[in-house]
Amino acid sequence: MFKKILIANRGEIALRIIRACKEMGIGSVAVYSTADKNALHAQLADEAICIGGERPHDSYLNMQAIIEAALKTGCEAIHPGYGFLSENSEFAKLVEACGLKFIGPSGDIIDAMGNKVEAREMMIKAQVPVVPGSREIIKSFEELEELVEEIGYPVLIKASAGGGGRGMRKAYHASELKEAYTTAKAEAKAAFGNDDMYCEKLIVNPKHVEFQILADHFGHVVYLGERDCSIQRRNQKMLEESPCKVLDEDLRQRMGEDAIKAAKCCGYTSAGTVEFVLDHEGHYYFIEMNTRIQVEHPVTEMVSGIDLIKEQIRIAQRLPLSFTQEDIKLNGYAIECRINAEDPQHDFAPQPGHIHTLHFPGGFNVRVDSHIYQDYDIPPYYDSMLAKLIVHAPTRLEAIKKMRSALSELVIDGVITNQKVLFYIMHQVDYVRGHFDTSFMEQHLKEMVEENG
């Protein structure tokens, strides 16, 4: 058993990991930036170390400072959470080279999956369906034109190192291709310092369906059902649910088995997510694998009853999974809303500020994962997510009703949030019926913002 773990993150996910450590009898060390000296993660961990300035590069992305803090406090492992260094292979390798365990897959696996062109090639070899498109990085615009000639419009130009929905542009006609390519490439360069691009057929208005997998060091791989994350704005998820209403048992099993294939073909270990787009005819295609815990992991925990953070820690300790695929029983429906400090009236611009009144909803099967508190100052340097509101109920309709009730109870005064937009979604007929895909927000955003004005 690990005696002590360092958490290389902030916000709600740092709290989530600290809580798992406490329950497992493992000591926890928080790291924090100067902007986070009053943050809850720094207060709730057994120990806390300031690792640098407010800017992420000076603190939460400062590998040396984090590893030094772990060694100085006698930690045996580092949990990276999501975002920040969680998908940084150099960090994973450095952690292991310093004699610590990285709670996640090896640096080599992070590299392989983080390079989306390489990941696609591995999936093709493993016979997992991928979206028709590039077999290698696009070397020139002329090469892109040739490829598009083959696969046909519409297409999506994507960054091979992409993440967080950035570095991708659609093109529906030849006249849009150049512009899409140049802007996606420039965005990729700015966001990831890497402008390797590839191209996929654009699957028109698909559902985003992803499978949670767990893999230990003994070749056991299981999937814990799926999450429907189709409610997105600019390719970024806003709310997620599990299970996905449109999957029947046969499709679920086929996609789940392909997710396992995806994990096995790269020798994956730890928790991971295999993302697919699903079209209206029931065809599905691999888009990427996320080699970390995800923001939306709680919906899977609610329906499976399995604590994913504890499993990640156990796997990193080289313990075998304590259950098989047959043991996994999924119950009911879970929905998660991401409550963000952002202004829907102004293109969802982030809203730093002071929270002067706060009330979180409660009740049977209502869960709030959050790092904010009354009189908390939201620093402007980090992600705008304030809380995740998660509900669980026997049926989807009951889960929707519970979410409506929970959202109407939630009070966050002092900053503008997306709370009303989420409440509105919960009342949309198409959402309630389960008739939605990744175009939902685009279709409904205008009316939502106007009605909330």
Catalytic residues: 292
Q: Which residue has the tokens 């909330």?
A: 452
**12, interface contact from Mg ion, ligand ADP, none, CB < 5-8 Å by kind:** none
Number of residues that bind Mg ion (CB under 5 A): 1
**355, interface contact from Mg ion, ligand ADP, none, CB < 5-8 Å by kind:** none
Question: Minimum CB separation from ligand ADP for residue 116, in Å?
Answer: 7
Residues near ligand ADP, by CB under 6 A: 82-84, 131, 156, 162-165, 200, 202-203, 206, 208, 232, 235-237, 275, 277, 287-288, 290, 294-296, 383, 438
At residue 279, what is the residue type?
D
Closest CB to ligand ADP among residues 150, 450? 150
Nearest alpha-carbon partner for 413 in 452, 365, 364, 355: 355
Q: What angle do CA 133, 285, 128 make, to 5 degrees?
A: 95
**295, interface contact from Mg ion, ligand ADP, none, CB < 5-8 Å by kind:** ligand ADP
Q: 3-state class of 231 per DSSP?
A: strand
Nearest alpha-carbon partner for 260 in 129, 113, 128: 128
Question: Minimum CB separation from ligand ADP for residue 108, in Å?
Answer: 19
**339, interface contact from ligand ADP, Mg ion, none, CB < 5-8 Å by kind:** none
Question: Minimum CB separation from Mg ion for residue 164, in Å?
Answer: 8
Closest CB to ligand ADP among residues 71, 204? 204
Nearest alpha-carbon partner for 143 in 157, 122, 164: 157
Question: Minimum CB separation from ligand ADP for residue 67, in Å?
Answer: 19
Pairing of strands 197-201, 236-242: unpaired
- CA of 208: how far to CAs of 97, 274, 309, 329, in Å? 37, 11, 23, 23
Q: 3-state class of 191 per DSSP?
A: helix
Site for Mg ion in 271-310 (CB under 5 A): 275
- CA of 131: how far to CAs of 135, 266, 287, 367, in Å? 11, 19, 7, 36
Closest CB to Mg ion among residues 237, 392? 237
Which residue number is nearest to ligand ADP in terms of Cβ? 83
Question: Minimum CB separation from ligand ADP for residue 80, in Å?
Answer: 11
Residues that bind Mg ion (CB under 5 A): 275
